[in-house]
Amino acid sequence: MSALSRASDTTTFLRLPSLPIYSNLTNTIPLCSFKFHINHRYRQRHSLISPHLLKTPNPFPTMAHSNNPSSDTVDPTCAEIIVVRHGETVWNVDGRLQGHIDVELNEVGREQAAVVADRLSREFKVSAVYSSDLKRAFETAEKIAATCGIAEVIKDPDLRERHLGDLQGLVLQEAAKVSAVAYRAFKSHRTNQDIPGGGESLDKLYDRCTSSLERIAAKHTGERVVVVTHGGVIRELYQRACPNGKSGGRVLNTSINIFHIFDGDRWTIKTWGDVSHLNETGYLKSGFGGDKTSGSSFLDMERYVWDKEWE
C-alpha cells in the first residue's frame, strides 16, 4: 500500500462497560477496522491533552491472563501479531536520538525484556519471533524467544527505527542548535520530507515497516507471532490500522500492541500500549524513552492525526 493511501471507509465500535476507570472517556470508541482507498497527503501535529500519560486509561482491551496458552486459538482467517517495543537503553534515559545507531539495552531494559518475555510465555502460544536487526530490539527478542521456546529470532532490517540522518546521536533538546536544517526537516508537517544526512521521511518509514508486517502476516495466517521493533515504527503501524483515529500516544518500552491482519489488506488493533507487566514488577516508572528518542515525533508530547482538509 502507498504511504498516501491511509484513509478508511469503515469503522467498528466497541461498547465499553461503565467502569470508573473510563469515567473520563466516551463509552464508545473505534476499534480501527479499515479498508484503504482515499488519498490523504498530509498529517497534522496535535498536542496530547494530558501530560500524565502513565495514568491515562488504555482505550483498547488489555490481554486476558491465561494459564493455558495452548487453548488460546487465533482466528484462522488472520495473523495475530504481537508487536513489542524494545527495552530501555541509556540513550532513552538521556533523551538522545538513536535512529539506526546500534545502542544496547541498559540493565533496566534487560529486566523489562525478561518481564515481558515471562508474560508472553505464560499467556500465549507463539509460533515465531521476528525482530529489527538493531541490538536493542534483537536482544529483547532473543529473551522473548528463549522464554517462549522459539529456537531462532528472524531478523528483518525493515523493522528498524527511522533513520534520523544528522540528528542521530544528538540530545533532542540540543538538536535545533547543533543541526538546525535537519531539525526543521524532522519537525516538518510534510510526511515526504527526508532528513539531511541520509535520514528517512515518514512516508518511507511507513512503507517499509507496514510492508514488513504484511509479509510476516502472509506467512503466518492462523498463527500468532511476536515482532520486536521501535517506537517510531510502532506509531506508523498504528497509523496503518487507525488512519483517521487519534494517536495512541507514547509507545513505552516493552509495551505490547496486538494487531490482526486479514489477507494483508485489513488491519485491526486488539490491544494497544499494554505495560501492565511492568506495573506488576515495579519497572513501570523507570526511565522509558516514550516518544522523545523515536523516529516519528520531535517532541515528547506531540502526536499525529489525519486532517481531511489537507487532501
Query: Annotated catalytic, 161?
Result: yes
The answer to whether the annotation marks 191 as part of a ligand binding site is no
Q: Is 182 helix (H, G, I), strand (E, B) or coil?
A: helix
Question: Of residues 86, 100, 230, 260, which has the active-site annotation?
Answer: 86
Indicate the Cα dihedral angle 37, 38, 42, 47, nearest 10°: -90
**Angle (nearest 5°) at CA 185 between 132 and 229:** 15
Query: Annotated catalytic, 311?
Result: no
Question: Of residues 123, 139, 142, 161, which has the active-site annotation?
Answer: 161
Side chain identity at residue 29, one-letter code: I
Helix (H) or strand (E) holding 114: helix 107-123
Distance CA 96, CA 81 (A): 29
Query: In which residue are the cell numbers 524467544 written?
Result: 145
Distance CA 305, CA 97 (A): 23
Cell digits of residue 23: 469515567
The answer to whether the annotation marks 91 as part of a ligand binding site is yes
The answer to whether the annotation marks 250 as part of a ligand binding site is no
Adjacent-strand bridge partners of 155: 131
The answer to whether the annotation marks 86 as part of a ligand binding site is yes
Range list of β-strands (E), 148-255: 153-155, 224-229
Adjacent-strand bridge partners of 14: 29
Adjacent-strand bridge partners of 282: none
The answer to whether the annotation marks 260 as part of a ligand binding site is no
As annotated, the active-site residues are 86, 161
* Residue positions forming the annotated binding site for substrate: 85-92, 136
